Amino acid sequence: MSEPGQNFIFVFKKTNELNSEEIEQLIKLHNETMNKERTETEFKEKYLYNFLGFSFHGLMKFNNEIVGCYNVIPYEFIFFSKKFLFGQWCETLIQFHFRGSLNTFKQLGNIVNEELKKYKIFFIYGWPNRQLYVVSKRLLGMKDIGKLHYYV
């Protein structure tokens, strides 16, 4: 669990600014945290192939290793006949033994959200899992905009 006083470094990067080591670390973090296998090709397809050519990444580093991330993919939408940029919040991952601090979660979100404003992205949407739902509403100020009914 995350301990008070741990020296995390919080960094913002666009996908096209990530070096190969950081991409490898993000893939490893995803694979270990989600218990799924993601390849470098899948990573690039998810985060590079959009109209901006990059996505937004908040990185939490400890001893120069990425131990947490907050990722947002930009999308264009036509809303009442006007084009807007929205962000799809798609992953917040933190290594198991660094979880527990609401402050680190908030810092990850804040560094990305501040950068999104520079690109005139003022609306973020997502489907948080049960663990993140309450925290994202209380800590990041996210609001429910409707219910999504789906069938699997």
pLDDT of residue 86: 92
Polymer length in residues for the chain: 152
Residue 67 to residues 45, 53, 84, 90, 152: CA-CA distances in angstroms?
Answer: 22, 25, 32, 17, 32
133-142 burial, b at 16+ Cβ within 10 Å, e below that, comes to: eebbeeebeb
Taking residues 2-9, what's their average pLDDT?
Answer: 68
Helices (H), 48-151: 102-118, 130-140
Both tokens assigned to 130: 């049960």
pLDDT in tens, 82-105: 999 999 988 889 999 898 777 888
